[in-house]
A and B are shown apart, each in its own frame.
Chain A
Amino acid sequence: MRIAESRVLPRFARVRPGGLAPIVAILVVLLVLLTLRQPDFLSPPSLMSFLGRSAPIVLLAAGQYFVIVSGEFDLSVGSLVTAQVVVAARLIDSEPSRSWPVVVVLLAFGALVGLVNGVVTTRLGVPSFITTLGMFLILVGAVYLWSDGAPKGGLSEEFRRFGRRAFEDVPALGRIPYALLILLAAAALAVLLSRSDFGRTLVAVGGNPRTAGLSGVRVWRAKTIAFVLSGVSAALAAILLGGYSGVSFQAGAGLEFGAITAVVLGGVALGGGRGSVVGAMLGALTLETLFALMNFYGVSGALKSTVQGAIILLAVAVSSVRSSSR
C-alpha cells in the first residue's frame, strides 16, 4: 500500500464520528462545572464512591455497545436486572452459603436471556427492537408472577458486599469500592474483546451484514454472542445494584435507556458499524456526571428521563447530519 499522505493524518483522523475526542471533551466540561459547584467532588473519597456507584450503568453500557455496534438493540437489560435482583433474593433467602452459587446462576441466567434474544432476532428474523421489548415485558410479568407481587427472601451480606463494600484505608485513595474493581476488570475484558478478531468482525457485521456474510462471517452467531455479552453485563450490574440498593421491583427500571443513551453519547452509531467500547463506557460516566451535576444544581430528578431523551435525539441528529454532509 502506498501512503499517499503525511504521517500527521492518523492523529487528525481520530477526531471523527465514533472517535473519543467529543465525549472526553464533554466529560471534562461537566467535571469542571461540577467542581465549581462542589469543589471536593474530585477528592479521592468522593470520586471513588462516585465511580463505584456508576459501575452498574458503565457495565451495562459496555454490554449494550456490543449489541448496538452489531446493528441491534437490547431493551431487555433493565427488566433483566430487576429480575436478577428479585431472583437472587429469593434463591439466597438470607442464607450466606448460597451467595456464590447464586452469583453463578445469575451469570448463567443473563447469558441465557441474551441467547434467547439473539436467536429469536437472528434466526426467527424478529427485529431486535421487538424481540427485546418482548423479553422486557416477559421478564416483568414473570418476576411478578414468580414472587406473587412482592419480593421474597433477602440477599445475604456475603452477596451484598460486591455492591456496597470497599477496600478501606488505601493510601491516598481512601476506600476503593469492590464495585470499581469489578468494573475495571470487566472493562479491561471488554476492551480486549472489542479489539479482538471477534470485536472487529462484530463492527463489520453492524456496518454491512451482507459483506460480512459473503466474507464468511456467521452473522447470526456474532450477533447472538453480542446479546449474550449484554445479558452477562446485566447480570454483573444486577449483582452490584442488588448489593448497593437492595431488593425492589424498581432495581433496574429505566436502565436500558440509560445504557442506550450512554452508548450513543459515547459516539457509537445507532444502526451499528461504528464506535468504541471505551466511548460507550465514557458515555455512561458522562451521563452519571450530568445527573450528579443536575443534582448539585438542584434540578429535579424527574427531569432525568427528559434529559436522556434529549441526549439521544441530539446525539443521533448530530451524527446523521455529520455523515450526510460528506
Chain B
Amino acid sequence: MADPPPSPLLTLRGIGKSFLGVRVLDSVDLDVRPGEVHAVVGENGAGKSTLMKIASGVYAPDEGTIDFAGAVRSFRGPRDAQRAGIGMVHQEFNLLPERTVAENVYLGREPVRRGLVDRKAMLSRTAALLDSIGESSLPPQARVGQLGVARQQVVEIVKALATDARLLIMDEPTAALADNEVERLYALVRRLQERGMGVLYVSHRLKEVFDLSGRITVLKDGRLVTTVDTARTDADRLVRHMVGRELSSYYPARARPDEVGPVRLTVHDGGNRKLRGVDLRLRAGEVLGVGGLQGSGRSALARALFGAAPFATGDVRLDGAPVRLRSPRAAMRAGIAYITEDRKGEGIVAGQSVLDNALLASRALLPGAGRGARAARVRELLAAVDVRAAGEDQEIRYLSGGNQQKVVLAKWLALGPRILLFDEPTRGIDVGAKSAIHDLVRQLARDGAAVLMVSSELPELLGMSDRIIVMRDGRIAGELPAGAGEEDVVALAVGAAREAAT
C-alpha cells in the first residue's frame, strides 16, 4: 500500500436524508479513493441503500455535499450521475432479456452512423470492453436472457464501463450468485481496481467484505459508526460495530430440565413421497432442532406436520390422542403453526398491510369472531414482538426481512399455538434482528410451546436446540443432545457416522 493515500475520487460530507419526517441518514461522511474497494456494511435499515442511492443520483440529499472527481456535484438524477462517471450495479438487474449483450450495453446510447444504429461499432466496442476486463469469452451478440445470472452481472458492469464510469457502486452483487461465480466476480472487481476505478461495495456477507475491500464503513441506524482499514479489524469486531454487542451473547440460554414438559407430539413410522419411517417425539418447552443437507427432508418433515404435504402413512398423536393432519387448517385447529422458510413466496402477502398480514390466519380460521377484541390482541402481539413499521397500515413489503418475520410470527401467535414449526426462522434476516427472533423462539418454548426448528445454519442449530435430529434421504439419521459439535451434525447428515455401518 502506498502512502500518502491518493486524493479521494468521491467524497460525501455530512449527508443527511429524511423520508416523511423519518431520519434515515444523519451526517454521514464517506470517501472512496481511486483503485479502492470500499465496503459499506450495516444491518437492514441502517441506511446503506439510501446512501448508495444518494451517491448514484437517485435521491438528492437533504444536507451535505457530494464531491466527485474534484468538483462539487448535485445530481439531477441517475443519468446525470452516470454522465459524471458514477455507475451502479443494482441487486436486481436492469437488462432486456430479449436483446443482445451489445444492445444492452449501449441501450439508449447506441453509436449512430448516418442516422442508423451502427451495429458493427456497437459489437466491436462491446467486445473490446469485455476483453479489457478479461471476459472475452462472453460473445457480444449473445442474447442476455440466455446467459446465467453471473454473466448477466458482467453485462451490467460492462454497461457501467461503457459510460466511462470511474466509480462503480455494487449493491449486494453476490446475492444471486453461486459460490464458484463469486470467485469470478472477485477477479473482475480486482481488475476494475487495477484500472484505477473506485468501487463502493455493499454487502451482507462479511467474508466478501474481508476478501475484497481495503476499507470498511459501518452504518447503524442511519449514522456512521466507523470507517476502518480492513487489515486492522476482524469479523467479531465488525459485528460488534454493526449490532453494538458481542457475538458470544448471541443465543439465549437453553431450557432447564424442569422447563421441559410432557410429550406433545408423537410421530410413529411417518412417511410420504419425501419421508420414510419418521419417528419423532416433541416435548412442550423444548426446542427440537432439525439438521441435515438441503433436500434431506427437513422441510418436508415440517410441512408434513403442518398438513401442507401430509404424511401418507404412519401414526401421529397429539397429547397421546391420534390426530389426522390432512391440511393446514386441520393442523391449525390442532394448535400447530408453521413459519415457512420462503417468507416472500408463502409467508406474507406483500401488497397487504402489516395488520392485514397479522390477521390473516385468525380471519381464515375464525371469521367474524370478536373482530374488535381480535384486532386489539393482534396489535398487542405486534408490539410484543417489537415490529418496527411506519404504522399498521404500511404495506408489509416495505419492512425489513426481520420485521416481516415478526409480523408472520404475530400472525401465528394470534391463534395461541402450542406447537410451532420454524423452517429457517432467520433466513435473509440481518444480524441484529436474528437474535431478536432467537429470543422470541426461546421465549415461546419457555412459555410452554413445543418448538421444532429446521435450520441449515449450524451455529444457529447448535446454539438454539435442546436436542437435534439430523435428516438424511427422508429419514431421521440420528439424534444429538445439546452441546453436540458441528462435526457431529455434518457426520450424520452426510452418513459418515456409525449408522453407515448398519
* Residues in B neighbouring A3, C-beta threshold 8 A: 389-391
Q: Which residues does chain B contribute within 8 Å of A12, judged by CB atoms?
A: 20
Contact call B308/A214, Cβ cutoff below 8 A: yes
Contacts A203-B352, A211-B348; A2 near B387 (Cβ below 8 A): yes
B73 proximal to A (CB < 8 A): no
Q: Do A197 and B363 touch across chains, with their CB atoms under 8 A apart?
A: yes
Pick from B21, B347, B379, B386: contact of A6, CB below 8 A: B21
Contact partners of A10 in chain B: CB under 8 A: 391, 393
In the bound complex, residues from chain A placing their C-beta under 8 Å from that of B21 are 5-6, 8-9
Q: Which residues of B are found within 8 Å of A2, using beta-carbon distances?
A: 383, 386-389
Residue of A nearest to B380 (CB): A1
Q: Is the CB of A214 within 8 A of B20?
A: no
- The contact sample of 12 A-B pairs, CB cut-off 8 A, is A1-B387, A1-B388, A4-B390, A5-B20, A6-B22, A13-B394, A18-B351, A197-B367, A201-B367, A212-B360, A214-B346, A216-B361
Please tell me if the beta carbons of B364 and A273 are within 8 angstroms of each other in the complex.
no
A118, B371: Cα distance in complex, Å: 28
In the bound assembly, the distance between CA atoms of A273 and B365 in angstroms comes to 20
A200 near B363 (CB under 8 angstroms)?
yes
Interface pair B371/A203, CB less than 8 Å apart? no
A35 located at the interface, meaning its Cβ lies under 8 Å from any Cβ of chain B in the complex: no
Assembly CA distance A210 to B392 (angstroms) = 23
Once A5-B21, A9-B391 are accepted as A-B contacts, the answer to whether A204 and B386 lie under 8 Å apart by CB is: no
B340 close to A (CB within 8 Å): yes
Complex-state Cα separation, A208 to B349, whole angstroms: 5
In the bound assembly, the distance between CA atoms of A101 and B24 in angstroms comes to 64
Q: Produce 1/0 per residue, B353-392, CB < 8 A to A.
A: 0101101110111011001000000010011001111111
A198 to B363, CA, bound (A): 8
CB-CB contacts below 8 Å: A193-209 with B: 196-198, 200-201, 203-204, 207-208
| Chain A residues with CB below 8 A from B368, complex form | 196-197
Contact B389 A216 (CB under 8 A): no
The reply on A116 being an interface residue by CB < 8 A is: no
CB contacts under 8 Å to A, within B248-293, are: none
For A18, the closest partner residue in chain B by CB is B351
Residue of A nearest to B398 (CB): A326
A218 close to chain B: CB less than 8 A:
yes
A9-B20, A207-B352, A273-B352 known; A216 vs B364 contact (CB < 8 Å):
yes
Chain A residues positioned under 8 Å from B394 (CB to CB):
9, 13
Asked if A213 contacts B20 (CB within 8 A), the reply is no
**Smallest CB–CB gap between B46 and chain A, Å?**
14
Contact between A212 and B363, CB atoms less than 8 A apart: no
Asked if B148 is at the interface (CB within 8 A of a chain A CB), the reply is no
CA distance A3 to B387 in the complex (A): 9
Chain A residues with a Cβ closer than 8 Å to the other chain, count: 33
Which residues of chain B come closer than 8 Å to A214, judged between CB atoms?
A: 306, 308, 328, 338, 340, 346-347
Q: Could you give, for residues 115-145 of chain A, a 1 whenever the CB lies within 8 Å of some chain B CB and a 0 otherwise?
A: 0000000000000000000000000000000
Find out whether the CB atom of A197 lies under 8 angstroms from the CB atom of B371: yes
Contact with A along B319-331 (1 / 0, CB 8 A): 0000000001100
A25 to chain B, nearest CB (A): 22
Given the complex, which residues of B lie within 8 Å of A203, measured CB to CB? 349, 352, 356
C-alpha spacing A133/B360, complex, angstroms = 32
A102 interface residue (CB < 8 Å to B): no
Query: What is the distance, in angstroms, from A210's C-beta to the closest C-beta of chain B?
Result: 4
Residues in B whose Cβ lies below 8 Å from that of A208: 345-346, 348-350
Option from A5, A8, A200, A213 in Cβ contact (under 8 Å) with B359: A200
Indicate whether A300 reaches chain B with its CB closer than 8 angstroms.
no
| B411 contacts chain A at the CB level, 8 A cutoff | yes
Chain B residues closer than 8 Å to A103, beta-carbon distance: none
Closest CB in chain A relative to B229 CB, distance in Å: 34
Please give the residue numbers on chain B whose beta carbons come within 8 Å of chain A beta carbons, in ascending order: 20-22, 306, 308, 328-329, 332, 338, 340, 345-352, 354, 356-357, 359-361, 363-365, 367-368, 371, 379, 382-383, 386-394, 411
- Taking A200-B356, A214-B338 as given, write out 13 further A-B residue pairs in contact, using a Cβ cutoff of 8 Å, ordered by the A residue number: A5-B21, A5-B391, A9-B20, A9-B391, A10-B391, A201-B363, A207-B351, A211-B347, A211-B348, A212-B364, A215-B411, A217-B364, A269-B351
State whether A204 and B328 are in contact (beta carbons under 8 Å apart), knowing that A9-B391, A215-B364 are contacts in the complex.
Answer: no
- A4 is contacted by which of B359, B364, B388 (Cβ under 8 Å)? B388
Cβ-defined contact, A13 with B393, below 8 A: yes
**A274 contacts the other chain (Cβ, under 8 Å)?**
yes
Residue of B nearest to A208 (CB): B349
- Chain B residues positioned under 8 Å from A273 (CB to CB): 349, 351-352
Q: Which residue of B lies closest to A272 (CB)?
A: B351
**Also in contact, A216 and B328, with CB within 8 A (given A1-B383, A197-B367):** yes
Is B346 a contact of A210 with CB atoms below 8 Å? yes
Residues of A within 8 A of B308 (CB): 214
A65–B266 alpha-carbon span in the complex (Å): 46
* Distance in Å: Cβ of B411 to nearest Cβ of chain A: 7
Residues of B near A198 (CB, < 8 A) are 367
A1 vs B409: C-alpha distance when bound (angstroms): 13
B390 touches A215 (CB 8 A): no
Q: Give Cα A18–Cα B393 distance, bound, in whole angstroms.
A: 14
A131 to chain B, nearest CB (A): 24
Task: Report A-chain residues with C-beta under 8 Å of the C-beta of B359.
Answer: 200
A195 to B348, CA, bound (A): 19
Give chain B nearest CB distance to A226 CB in angstroms.
15
Given known A-B contacts A9-B390, A207-B349, A201 and B364 have beta carbons under 8 A apart? yes
Task: Name A207's closest neighbour in chain B (CB-CB).
Answer: B349
The distance from the CB of B220 to the nearest CB of chain A, in whole angstroms, is: 15
By the criterion CB–CB under 8 Å, are A4 and B365 in contact?
no
Contact B351 A274 (CB under 8 A): yes
B364 touches A1 (CB 8 A): no
A216 touches B346 (CB 8 A): no
Contact of A215 with B360 at beta-carbon distance under 8 Å, contacts A5-B21, A204-B349 already known: yes
B332, B350, B356, B390: the one within 8 Å of A216 (CB)? B332
Residue of B nearest to A5 (CB): B390
Nearest 7 pairs of A and B residues by beta carbon: A1-B382, A216-B364, A207-B349, A210-B346, A197-B367, A197-B363, A217-B364
Indicate with 1 or 0, residue by residue over A63-95, a CB within 8 angstroms of chain B CB atoms: 000000000000000000000000000000000
- How far apart sit A266 and B391, CA to CA, in the bound complex (Å)? 25
User: Which interface residue of A6, A217, A273, A274 has the most chain B CB atoms within 10 A?
Assistant: A217
Chain A residues lying within 8 Å of B347, measured Cβ to Cβ, are 211, 214
**Binary B-proximity of A208-240 (CB < 8 A = 1, otherwise 0):** 101111111110000000000000000000000
How far apart are the CA atoms of A253 and B309 in the complex, in Å?
Answer: 45
How many Å from the CB of A181 to the closest CB on chain B?
28
Contact present for B391 and A210 (CB under 8 Å): no
